[in-house]
Structure 1
Amino acid sequence: MSVPRPQHAPLAQFEVEGDCLQIGGMPLTRLAERVGRTPFYAYDRAKLTERVELLRRHLPPEIHLHYAMKANPMPAVVQHMATLVDGIDIASGGEQRVALDTPMAPHLVSFAGPGKSDTDLSCAIAAGVVLNMESEAEMERIAVIGRRLSIKPRVAVRVNPDFELKSSGMKMGGGPKQFGVDAERVPAMLERIRALELDFQGFHIYSGSQNLKAASIQDAHEKTFALAIRLAAHWPGPLRTLNIGGGFGIPYFPGEERLDLAAVGENLKRILPDVRRDLPDTEIVIELGRYLVAEAGIYVSRVIERKESRGQVYLVTDGGLHHHLAASGNFGQVIRKNYPVAIGNRMNADERETVSVVGPLCTPLDLLADQMSLAKAEVGDLVVVFQSGAYGLSASPVAFLSHPVALEVLV
């Protein structure tokens, strides 16, 4: 059966030699041999570097770039990113251990997230990490622990803004949220920070994620600066840092267009002079995770069996939602859409077919591609899921049904 070849930009990000996908300058088949088994994730070191360089070209030079390592906490990836960015943002004690094992200075590591345990707080305070406080109660706990340790904790206030990032895949601010302190409550909290003699650094204002619309991000930046300036007036000294979040999205699905990063950068260059009049000594941070790493990674599984059921072809692989929940559509998608998928060792094959790619789990949710046009695959071929460098293995139910955990490699 002849099936039209789909056009999907993410597949063009990696080179192809002959029929074989190349990653890290190596044919996928050779990489699979070196890894020793499938499934595995592979992250391209050069593409990680290129993405940081792209941001440096378009963003104003005074912007400090932080890596939100929740997107991909693989230690080798974090080590590499630590050599490229200006800071690391963490969301757990486990991530803190990885971050502090890099060359990044502890005061350039910030810890956000609700529900931090006393152990989390104690370790962060002892290390000199900046704690983004999510509530007044967390502030009081930090003060008690700081006194017990005889250390003045470094803190910032994570603000739940009175606006949201329009058209974002996940809204993190505006309305009632478990994240941050409602903006209207921050002035009173600043008074309490002074009384507790905490080492106040500034604000973290994050309104949403996975946004492909430059106009929405520009609007959020302008509102974020205005809110920060308003709140800073309630603090007697200079605001040392202002983390304006990220929210930069990447295209996953056909029809999605890339974020116009140049437009975002130009808007920042336009508004920063006005911001500097009110915040002359403030270090301005943009925190990004997915945008830095997602397009540099692939997930690879191997076809175990071709199966036909009532006219539909299934490629049964050794990987699935237990390794890549997002690609299965069960990590926030309202209507399931296919990630970009290809047969990695048949990239230029002419014979194509419509198939579904499924994994080995006993659930119909274990679906990596649904009725998708792919090169005709045989047992032993390699199925590649692109856009897999962020929220992949660490965001998946790896213990489900006790299959082996996927490997990860940085090449």
Structure 2
Amino acid sequence: MSADSGIKKEAPKHADRIGFPVEGQELTVGGVPVSRLAARVGSTPFFAYDRALMTARVERLRKALPKDVHLHYAMKANPMPAVVQHMARLVDGLDVASAGEMHVALDTGIDPATISFAGPGKTVHELSQAVGAGIIINMESFNEMETIARLGAELGVHPKVAIRVNPDFELKTSGMKMGGGPKQFGVDAELVPQMLKRLGDLGLDFYGFHIFSGSQNLREDALLDAQQKTINLAIELTKHAPRAPRLVNIGGGFGIPYFPGERHLDVEAVGEGLEALMPRARNELQGAEIVIELGRYFVGEAGVYVSRVVDRKESRGTIYLITDGGLHHQLSASGNFGQVIRKNYPVAIANKMDQAEDEESNIVGCLCTPLDRLGDKVGLPRGEIGDLVVVFQSGAYGRSSSPTAFLGHPAPMEVLV
């Protein structure tokens, strides 16, 4: 390779930037070298999650946010039972999005009243289980409310409910907008007073509001703007409620950096801004727990996806490292089945962390589609058969968000270290 190839002649900096240490030449997860983890798991590919990094993330957020703000973990980000068990000991509540997730949450032994169930399209079977378990159901429609009331009457209980509100604003610059305009999520804010009136007639146990406007945001000003509007909306809706809310979930939306040019969110700045908003919340929402619900922010940077190079080839001057993993395990890192502009997640060769990035490689998976790409034109040490490729930022929306049945390959293992 020529000296002017543009490849950096220095050791990879991924580990320092992402937070995983290096022992000798190897990346470590939970203090264990990745090659040793591979031997322990028994095969590649696999996901490895570092419990210490999750704990540190929660602790940092606790210090940054107002003391009376409660933290909930959104299990959809990573529903691995061991991860949920760990997170349940760190946070104040769990949010689930299916009966399957509800069972995992209940198995942690956490108080059912601290578990909330959100999501459109809940079946009667799921709602019946949620009512019987005594968890809080975030109602997404008038129809759902009527069904819950009927189930409560049949079971002889007063179901715990909150209203998921579709606000008339959105979280600006968010990676995924969950509120504002027509949405399949929640009840339009202007219809909530009517729903609250009907709720009072049905004998439901009203807990409060869940107001979520967006996710994956790295701008402190946008988050604080949405938090202020959310608190104002909750105060206005409370005027129509049959009783004072005991819980106001103001959503989350805290993002993590995936791509070049992105920076970590300044949570201390978010905490300072939220503290300035809290006096009004404490005064006008007295007795209500103010909840921030996060998933990706807690676990996303605490996980890696590891696959093994099974072939190396050159095609018309381009190097391909072919691994036993791919988009069927880590769909988002591949580009979600064809993003218009695909960007690389941070990647490295886990067993060559002390070597210079002296070769430009394409990391591809084992599937019969050109979309199966984990890294395009990445500066890496020379990759060989048997090397372990690691994809960072893989602790959230990885295995459970990917088409693991695609082409019949085995599902990847998971390990919490």
Deviation at 1:162, TM superposition (A): 0.3
Partner residue of 1:202 out of 202, 208, 232: 208
Query: Amino acid of the residue matched to residue 320 of structure 1?
Result: G
Deviation at 1:103, TM superposition (A): 2.1
8 Å CA contact 1:299, 1:388 repeated in 2: yes
Partner residue of 2:263 out of 252, 257, 270: 257
Deviation at 1:229, TM superposition (A): 0.3
Query: Who is 1:143 aligned against?
Result: 149
CA displacement, residues 163-206 of structure 1 (integer Å, 9 cap, x when unaligned): 00000000000000000000000000000000001000000000
Query: Amino acid of the residue matched to residue 327 of structure 2?
Result: L
Partner of 2:400, secondary structure, is: helix
Work out the CA distance in 1 between the residues paired with 2:16 and 2:298. Answer: 14
Normalising by structure 1, we get a TM-score of 0.98
1:214 aligns with 2:220: yes
Query: Who is 2:134 aligned against?
Result: 128
* 232-241 vs 6-15, which moves further: 6-15
1:271 aligns with 2:277: yes
Query: Who is 2:229 aligned against?
Result: 223
Please list, as runs of the form range in 1=range in 2, the aligned pairs for 1:298-377 lying within 5 A after superposition: 298-330=304-336, 333-350=339-356, 352-377=358-383
8 Å CA contact 1:11, 1:386 repeated in 2: no
% identity of equivalent residues = 65
Query: Amino acid of the residue matched to residue 20 of structure 1?
Result: E
Please list, as runs of the form range in 1=range in 2, the aligned pairs for 1:52-91 lying within 5 A after superposition: 52-91=58-97
* 384-393 vs 328-337, which moves further: 328-337
Partner of 2:299, secondary structure, is: helix
Please list, as runs of the form range in 1=range in 2, the aligned pairs for 1:158-169 lying within 5 A after superposition: 158-169=164-175
Cα gap change, 1:122/1:101 in structure 2, threshold over 3 Å: closer, same or farther?
same
1:37 aligns with 2:31: no
1:99 aligns with 2:105: yes
Cα gap change, 1:333/1:233 in structure 2, threshold over 3 Å: closer, same or farther?
farther
Query: Who is 1:117 aligned against?
Result: 123
* 230-239 vs 191-200, which moves further: 230-239
1:383 aligns with 2:406: no
Query: Who is 1:409 aligned against?
Result: 415
Cα gap change, 1:13/1:277 in structure 2, threshold over 3 Å: closer, same or farther?
same
Partner of 2:369, secondary structure, is: coil
Cα gap change, 1:17/1:8 in structure 2, threshold over 3 Å: closer, same or farther?
closer
Partner of 2:283, secondary structure, is: helix
8 Å CA contact 2:327, 2:334 repeated in 1: yes
Work out the CA distance in 1 between the residues paired with 2:201 and 2:357. Answer: 72
Partner of 1:174, secondary structure, is: coil
Work out the CA distance in 2 between the residues paired with 1:109 and 1:351. Answer: 46
Work out the CA distance in 1 between the residues paired with 2:341 and 2:222. Answer: 23
Query: Who is 1:20 aligned against?
Result: 26
8 Å CA contact 1:8, 1:254 repeated in 2: no
Query: Amino acid of the residue matched to residue 170 of structure 2?
Result: E
Work out the CA distance in 2 between the residues paired with 1:103 and 1:332. Answer: 41
1:239 aligns with 2:282: no
Deviation at 1:151, TM superposition (A): 1.3
* 345-354 vs 210-219, which moves further: 345-354
8 Å CA contact 1:160, 1:205 repeated in 2: yes
Number of residue pairs matched? 411
Query: Amino acid of the residue matched to residue 115 of structure 1?
Result: G
Q: CA RMSD in A?
A: 1.3
Deviation at 1:9, TM superposition (A): 7.3
Deviation at 1:350, TM superposition (A): 2.2
8 Å CA contact 1:329, 1:337 repeated in 2: yes
Partner of 1:138, secondary structure, is: helix
* 29-38 vs 329-338, which moves further: 329-338
Deviation at 1:333, TM superposition (A): 4.8
Partner of 1:195, secondary structure, is: helix
Deviation at 1:332, TM superposition (A): 8.9
Query: Amino acid of the residue matched to residue 265 of structure 1?
Result: G
CA displacement, residues 246-289 of structure 1 (integer Å, 9 cap, x when unaligned): 00000001110111101110011111012222111111100000
Normalising by structure 2, we get a TM-score of 0.97
Unaligned runs of 5+ in 2: none
Deviation at 1:236, TM superposition (A): 3.9
CA displacement, residues 201-247 of structure 1 (integer Å, 9 cap, x when unaligned): 00000000000000000000000000000000111421110000000
**Structure 1: 4+ residue segments shifted above 3 A:** 5-12, 331-334
* 380-389 vs 18-27, which moves further: 18-27
Partner residue of 1:295 out of 277, 282, 301: 301
